[in-house]
């Protein structure tokens, strides 16, 4: 469990993070979203003991990172994949880390295999690694101590499409085995594909924190009928606001059940009925982080 409570961090007069509170329960992947400079890295750095909070707390399993005995056995951290020593090979980098953590040497080969760097890649100097390879090595280092918690800042950065799919499977599997994942990313579709929960931060403040489905349900429902006009009348009759979407569909401002019932009551057969995800997360992100009028006002209170 990761718990952030009333966390504030200033850099001089710059307020990087302001009264941030959220938690990440075991068995879930939490996507941490926000525009550049929103405060994601600062929050993660404080959580991992790399920066001091000005006030508030950030704990893992109830303890500050620095108070965890052999922290790497509890928390795998990837904050800056470029931080590895360029002159060492991937295998040497992990072997050193394994010594520090006190994990068996065999574990190095296991994680190299797991991240797709086994074979010749493991013997290359990190300075000659591509960005995606450095990222994989950083993930291997995070996994080395077999932790229950992962804190990953932009782990998909530089990964190719296969790598991104691999990462998705890795994180889902980790959470399915009861692990806790906090993951920041600018790749909204990727986050949407893998996260169970979302925390959105803007200008240092949490603007939404809730289950992904709950958040996206607030972005409405895409509904389409052969007879669009009849569908429009059915929604109006049910008091459901709607606006035109792509391909003659309508975007209705409520959940799929209410829309489906309204159409059924009016005897309008539907061709499509689904939560407005995909563009939904982008729209939600834009609304929440640009200070617009949120389409999902109740989410402001839905803090976890
Ligand atoms: N060491 C520092 N000294 C001064 N200001 C800092 C420092 N680190 C971060 N900041 C400031 O704190 C704010 C939050 O930065 P942070 O890196 O946490 O944002 P972020 O959400 O991770 O952004 P990005 O998506 O661009 O990585 C920014 O205004 C940034 O300039």
Range list of β-strands (E), 212-299: 221-225, 242-244, 250-252, 270-275
H or E element, residue 149:
strand 149-153
Phi, psi angle pair for 226, to nearest 5°? -60, -40
- The pTM of this model reads 0.81
Q: What percent of the chain has pLDDT over 70?
A: 93
How far is the centre of ligand 1, averaged over its atoms, from the C-alpha of 14 (Å)? 9
Q: Is the pLDDT of residue 182 over 90?
A: yes
Q: How many angstroms separate the CA atoms of 63 and 147, rounded?
A: 15
Mean pLDDT on 44-54: 96
Q: Please report how the helices 256-265 and 228-237 are oriented relative to each other, as an axis angle in degrees rounded to 10.
A: 110
- In which residue are the tokens 């926000």 written? 34
> Residue 206 pairs with which residues in a beta bridge?
201
Atom 28 of ligand 1: nearest residue by CA position: 37
How far is the centre of ligand 1, averaged over its atoms, from the C-alpha of 117 (Å)? 31
Please provide the size of the chain in residues.
304
Structure token digits, residue 217: 């349900």
- With a 6 Å cutoff on the Cβ, whether 44 touches ligand 1 is no
Q: pLDDT tens digits for 77-89?
A: 999 766 778 899 9
- With a 6 Å cutoff on the Cβ, whether 38 touches ligand 1 is yes
Predicted local confidence at residue 278, as pLDDT: 56
User: 193 and 168 in contact (C-beta within 8 Å)?
Assistant: yes
Among 7, 11, 43, 46, the mutation site with the greatest number of ligand 1 atoms within 8 A of its Cβ is 11
Atom 29 of ligand 1: nearest residue by CA position: 37
Whether complex ipTM tops 0.95: yes
Q: Is the pLDDT of residue 296 over 70?
A: no
Among the CATH numbers 2.60.40, 3.30.1050, 3.30.70, 3.40.50, which is that of 220-276? 3.30.70
Q: How many angstroms separate the CA atoms of 143 and 139, rounded?
A: 6
Closest ligand 1 atom number to CA of residue 35: 25
Query: Smallest Cα–Cα separation from 172: which of 198, 199, 191?
Result: 191
* Residue 241: partners with Cβ closer than 8 Å, 6 or more residues away: 235, 252, 253, 254
Predicted local confidence at residue 301, as pLDDT: 34
Closest ligand 1 atom number to CA of residue 44: 18
Q: pLDDT tens digits for 135-175?
A: 999 999 999 999 999 999 999 888 888 889 999 999 999 99
Domain positions in the chain: 2-211, 220-276
Q: Is the pLDDT of residue 108 over 70?
A: yes
Q: pLDDT tens digits for 204-241?
A: 999 989 898 888 776 788 899 999 999 999 999 999 98
Phi, psi angle pair for 120, to nearest 5°? -60, -35
- CATH 3.30.70.270 is the classification of domain 2-211: no
Q: How many angstroms separate the CA atoms of 154 and 44, rounded?
A: 11
- Looking at residue 63, what DSSP letter applies? B
């Amino acid at each position: 469990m990761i718990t952030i409570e009333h966390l504030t961090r200033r850099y001089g007069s710059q307020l990087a993070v302001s009264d941030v509170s959220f938690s990440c329960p075991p068995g879930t992947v939490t996507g941490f979203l926000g525009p550049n400079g929103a405060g994601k890295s600062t929050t993660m750095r404080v959580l991992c003991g790399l920066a001091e909070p000005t006030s508030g707390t950030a704990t893992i399993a109830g303890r500050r990172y620095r108070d965890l005995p052999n922290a790497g056995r509890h928390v795998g951290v990837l904050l800056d994949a470029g931080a590895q020593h360029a002159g060492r090979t991937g295998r040497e980098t992990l072997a050193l880390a394994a010594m520090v953590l006190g994990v068996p040497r065999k574990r190095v080969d296991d994680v190299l295999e797991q991240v797709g760097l086994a074979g010749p890649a493991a013997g290359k100097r990190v300075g000659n690694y591509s960005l995606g390879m450095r990222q994989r090595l950083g993930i291997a280092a995070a996994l080395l101590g077999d932790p229950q918690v992962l804190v990953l800042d932009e782990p998909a950065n530089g990964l190719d499409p296969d790598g991104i799919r691999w990462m998705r499977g890795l994180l889902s599997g980790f959470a399915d085995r009861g692990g806790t994942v906090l993951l920041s990313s600018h790749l909204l579709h990727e986050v949407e594909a893998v996260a169970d929960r979302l925390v959105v931060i803007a200008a240092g403040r949490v603007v939404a924190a809730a289950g992904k489905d709950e958040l996206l349900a607030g972005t409405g429902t895409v509904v389409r009928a052969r007879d669009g006009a009849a569908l429009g009348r059915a929604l109006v009759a049910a008091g459901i606001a709607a606006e035109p979407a792509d391909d003659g569909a309508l975007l209705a401002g409520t959940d799929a059940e209410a829309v489906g019932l309204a159409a059924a009551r009016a005897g309008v057969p539907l061709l499509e009925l689904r939560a407005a995800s995909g563009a939904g997360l982008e729209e939600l992100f834009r609304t929440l982080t640009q200070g617009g009028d949120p389409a999902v006002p109740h989410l402001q209170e839905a803090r976890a």
